[in-house]
Amino acid sequence: MKSKFLGEVRKLWSHRMLAVSISGPIFIVGYLLISSYPPTFVAESLVLVEPPRRVIADQTPVIEPKPVDAILIQTSQAIITSANFFERVVIKLGLQLDPRFVNTGKQRALLTAAEQGMNRALDWWDSIGDTVGLPPVGPRGRVRLAPPADRIDRPLPTEAERLAVAVERLQRSVSVSQIGRSTVISIRASALNAELGARIANALANQYVADGKDEQIAAARNASSTIKSRLDELQADLLRSQRAVADYKAGVGMGELMSPIGSTVPAILKEVADANGQFMTVQAERLALEARITNIDARKKSASTTDELASPIVQRLRDQEAQLKQQYAELQVRLGDKHPAIRDIESQITEIQRSIQAEIVAIRESLRNELRVVSEKERLMRSNLEALNQKLQNFQYMQPLLSQLEQEVASNRRMYDTFLERFKQTEEQERLAQSSARVVSPATVPMRQSFPKTSLALAGSLHGALAVGLLAAFARSRLKTVFMSADEVAICFGKSDVAIVPELKNSHRHELNVGADIRITTGNLAAFSEAISNVKFLVSRRPDDTVVLFTSSVPKEGKTFMAVSAALDAAGSGTRTLYIDCDIYKERNNAIRTPLLPGLTECLASEMPWRDAVMAGGDGLPDFLLGGNFGADPARLLSSHKLRRIIEEARQSYDLVILDGPPILATSSPRFLAAWADSVVFVLHWASTSRAAASAAYEELTASGARLSGCILNRADLRQLRKFGQNGSGAHYGVYRNHPVSQTNAIRAAIKQ
């Protein structure tokens, strides 16, 4: 991660002159523009939204206060910043007629600042041009910037346009925001005049508070009007239901049957109960009279009825009869039955008995008369009771509908009473309406200007210019699609091991004869020899890396040259090395000049032993197994198990086996070679290999399971490379770069690419 970041920094550093050339003028022009900007004053007023509502006379408010939340705060901000709200404030303050706000306001100041800043920038450029010999572009070379006077000083034709312009400028100069997580809103107004800014901020705050109070009054009035309309409707419904009950009672004659005021029992029920009781009393009286008469009629002579006993006359006659009978018994014993006194007493007793019978007859006749009266009374009461029962039945039949009408009356009355009470409350709240917000801190006249500030202008111009310059440098570095430094290679492949090999000129090349059949072109540049030593480090990074594949993404990137150079350098250090030319797609090896001799193609296509095709290099030189004669179907040969067996046998016989494979994107053979090799060295052409091709080739290698030990950035221009903060391998030998090196070092380096 750190190396990737450093690589990006180096790439940007290579384009530092471009960044400086762009950032410098931008910084100067920006600073001059900002410093020439007219002073702006900002006044701030604070408004508390939805303070706690006071409860008056323990009444529930008709207009319930809304809970304070983020949505309510945003709604308040939207109301304050609305065009209609600003228009009312503009009209209230008369800003459309204020020349400081409309005619000679911020528009003139902006154009004046732009004119002054640009002219100062042009003067600075001309002063620099006189020194370095640049053509003038300021007052001597072009007309100074000046805004058209008719466009600024032209009066607005109509009052509506003046008002629209004033509202638009007020919207641009006012900002409304919430302070933290509180319910306080900050209203900030900027103006070229400090007193005007304070007036605007206070007017906005007071207008918002007044609108809140007006909203409460309007809401209460609206509620009162609505409730009053509903109250009239309920009153009409109540009267209509009452009339319906009265009409129903009158129509069916139920007025006298209803309950009296203060009673819960219907009158008909009470009347029926009373009549029934009276009827039962009369009926009992009749039955009693009949029983008495029957008893009198059926009595025996020796018995006396209750009525007889109750009669004082009969009782007195009975007493006289008893006395006479007692005298009769005494005289009869003393005088006998024939005595005249006995006869007289008998006649008296008989007379008294006749009187008793006459009195009994009178009593019976009286009872009969009384019975006739009671029977008539009973008949009349029965008729009355039957009539009452008929009325009761009619009442019970009509009672449900009457109850429904009476329930409707009760419901209408309750509803009417509720709305009447509510109407009284809304009238009270309309009289005591309060705003849902209040000003907690009115704006004061600012003593210092808010913009521009010299230090901030300088820092802002500097940062902006640097950002633009860095962006330009970054864009330029990203537009390049080839590799220009080792850091770019490391970022692309995620490998920090990158060897840089410089490009050789023709003056640094000469041919070297190796044996009787091999001729190799070598070079004598010290920086190149040092670079090949770094390539050797990539080849022998791990002790168990015996088979190393050299490949590239596309042809002509110098992979064969790098493979031969690595083989020569390894053999020169005493390592038993075998170079196998696996790129049998081409007819001949451009790095090694040999006659057309049997090679790898013949070994794979026939039964020829591979060791018979190996050309020994001698002491300090590697052995060579060249590609041989160009044959048909090289892809089949390179993917055969015979080649794998040859590589495994060579692994047993040599300390290092270098495979010079074909380009990855040209054929599919490198996949098999990469799978059989211990590691892969990827060769890239400096400023030539595209990143897209390299990335595609790297994905192919990764898919085959190969292990990438490092990359070689070949044929690099060391002078251009220094711009990226890298000198390249061997560049520290720049003092000796034109001096020849020893023959031993030349043998270790294969020159021709």
DSSP string, 243-265: HHHHHHHHHHT-TTTSPPTT--S
Q: How are strands ordered across the β-sheet holding 41-49? A: 174-178, 184-191, 41-49, 437-441
Confidence check: pLDDT of 156 > 70: no
pLDDT of 13 over the 80 cut? no
Instruction: Return the CATH number at 536.
Output: 3.40.50.300
Structural tokens at position 73: 């705060």
Answer for the pair 701, 675: CB distance below 8 angstroms, yes or no.
no
Residue 293 domain flag: yes
- Whether 615 shows a pLDDT value over 80: the answer reads yes
| pLDDT of 262 strictly over 50 | no
Rounded (10°) angle between helices 312-335 and 340-431: 160
Indicate the average pLDDT of the chain. Answer: 76
- The more confidently predicted of residues 725 and 283 is 283
pLDDT over 90 (residue 123): no
Q: Is 688 buried (19+), middle (13-18) or exposed (0-12) by CB count in 10 A?
A: middle
Mean pLDDT along residues 26-35:
75
- The confidence band for 365, taking pLDDT boundaries of 50, 70 and 90, is confident
Judgement on whether residues 273 and 357 belong to the same structural domain of the protein: yes
Q: What is the mean pLDDT of residues 240-256?
A: 70
184-191/41-49 β-pairing: antiparallel
Which H/E stretch holds residue 132?
helix 106-132
Number of independent structural domains in the chain: 2
Distance CA 606, CA 626 (A): 16
520 with 588, same domain: the answer is: yes
For residue 653, what pLDDT is reported?
Answer: 93
Q: Tokens for 240, please give them.
A: 């209509």
Two tokens, residue 90? 């503009």
Distance in angstroms (rounded) separating the CA atoms of residues 613 and 607: 12
Same domain, 505 and 393: no
Report whether pLDDT(427) > 90: no
DSSP state of 120: H
Q: What confidence category does residue 192 fall into, taking pLDDT thresholds of 50, 70 and 90?
A: confident
Among 221-225, 430-434, 464-468, which stretch is predicted with the lowest mean pLDDT?
430-434
DSSP letter at 497 equals -
Q: Pick from 743, 744, 710: which is nearest to 729 by CA?
A: 710
Share of the chain above pLDDT 90, in %: 11
Pick from 102-106, 181-185, 244-248, 354-358: least confident = 102-106
- Residue with the bigger pLDDT between 299 and 282: it is 282
- Please state, in angstroms and rounded to a whole number, the distance separating the CA atoms of residues 177 and 175: 7
Q: What pLDDT shows up at residue 146?
A: 47
> Which residue is associated with the tokens 């790095």?
591
Instruction: Please provide residue 64's backbone torsions phi and psi, each rounded to the nearest 5 degrees.
Output: -70, 135
User: Final residue of a domain: which of 431, 459, 477?
Assistant: 431
When pLDDT is cut at 50, 70 and 90, the band that residue 188 belongs to is very high
Q: What string of H, E and C letters represents the secondary structure of 567-613?
A: HHHHHHCCCCEEEEECCCCCCCCCCEECCCCCCHHHHHHCCCCHHHH
The predicted pLDDT at position 338 comes to: 74
Question: Computed from CA positions of residues 633, 639, 641, 643, in that sequence, does the dihedral angle turn out positive or negative?
Answer: positive
Rounded Cα distance between 318 and 679, Å, is 163
**Rounded to whole angstroms, how far apart are CA atoms 175 and 273?**
86
Q: Point out the least confidently predicted range of 484-498, 628-642, 716-730.
A: 716-730
Count, in order, helices (H) and strands (E) of the chain: 24, 14
Instruction: Check pLDDT > 60 for residue 383.
Output: yes
Q: Which of 431, 466, 494 is the last residue of a domain?
A: 431
437-471: burial string, b at 16+ Cβ within 10 Å, e else: bbbeeebeebeeebebeeeebeebbeebbbebbbe
- Same domain, residue pair 519 and 416: no
Handedness of CA 350, 355, 361, 363 (dihedral sign): negative
pLDDT of residue 62 exceeding 70: no
- Whether 19 maps to a domain, the answer reads no
**Which stretch of 81-90, 415-424, 456-465, 621-630 has the lowest confidence by average pLDDT?**
456-465
Instruction: Give the 3-state secondary structure of residue 505.
Output: coil
Distance (Å, whole) CA 687 – CA 718: 12
Looking at the fold, whether 290 and 416 belong to one and the same domain comes out as yes
Taking the C-alpha atoms of residue 345 and residue 325, their distance in angstroms, rounded to an integer, is 8
Does residue 318 share a domain with residue 388?
A: yes
Based on the fold, state whether residues 383 and 509 are members of the same structural domain. Answer: no
Flag whether 377 is in a domain.
Answer: yes
Note the pLDDT tens digit of each residue in 287-308: 888 887 887 777 644 445 555 5
Domain membership of residue 406 (yes or no) is yes
Q: What's residue 513's pLDDT?
A: 61
Cβ 185 vs Cβ 439: under 8 Å: no
pLDDT given at position 65: 53
Selected residue with higher pLDDT from 14 and 344: 344
Category of 677 on φ-ψ map: left (φ > 0), alpha (ψ -120 to 50) or beta: beta
Phi, psi of 725, rounded to the nearest 5 degrees: 80, 15
The band of 580, judged by pLDDT with boundaries at 50, 70 and 90, is very high
Q: Which amino acid is at 98?
A: D
Is the model's pLDDT at 57 over the cut of 60?
A: no
pLDDT of 461 higher than 80: no
Largest CA distance in the chain: 217
Structure-token match 């898919």, residue found: 703
- At 467, which amino acid appears? A
Higher pLDDT, 580 or 31: 580
Q: Let me know if residue 10 belongs to a domain.
A: no
Q: Is the pLDDT of residue 595 over 60?
A: yes
609, 581, 634: which is closest to 750 by C-alpha? 581
Residues 604 and 741 in one domain: yes
Q: What share of the chain is helix, strand, coil (3-state, %, to 5)?
A: 60, 10, 30
Lowest-confidence range among 368-377, 492-501, 655-664? 492-501
User: Can you tell me the distance from the alpha carbon of 679 to that of 707, in angstroms, rounded to the nearest whole number?
Assistant: 5
Do residues 410 and 524 share a domain?
no
State phi, psi for 615 to the nearest 5 degrees: -105, 120
Residues 415 and 545 in one domain: no
Reading the block at residue 547, the tokens are: 């088979």
Q: What pLDDT band is residue 54 in, cutting at 50, 70 and 90?
A: very low
Token couple for 663 = 């380009």
Q: Which of 235, 241, 167 is nearest to 200 (CA)?
A: 167
Choose the final residue of a domain: 431, 465, 495. Answer: 431
Nearest alpha carbon to residue 518 among 571, 556, 555: 571
| Average pLDDT for 389-395 | 74
Q: What is the mean pLDDT of residues 672-676?
A: 91
Same domain, 425 and 512: no
Residue pair 245/409 in contact (Cβ under 8 Å)? The answer is: yes
Res. 591 pLDDT band, cuts 50 70 90: confident
At a CB cut-off of 8 Å and minimum separation 6, what does 383 contact? none
- Indicate whether this model's pTM tops 0.85: no
Reading the block at residue 666, the tokens are 């040209």
Residue 719 within any structural domain of the chain: yes
391, part of any domain: yes
Mean pLDDT on 351-362: 82
Range of the domain at 350: 267-431
pLDDT of residue 736: 30
- Are 527 and 417 part of one and the same domain? no
pLDDT at 683: 93
Whole-number Å distance between alpha carbons of 451 and 33: 12
Q: Which helix (H) or strand (E) holds 684?
A: strand 679-685
Contact 644, 580 (CB under 8 A): no
Peptide bond preceding 740 in cis form (omega within 30 of 0): no
Is 472 domain-assigned? no
Share of the chain above pLDDT 70, in %: 71
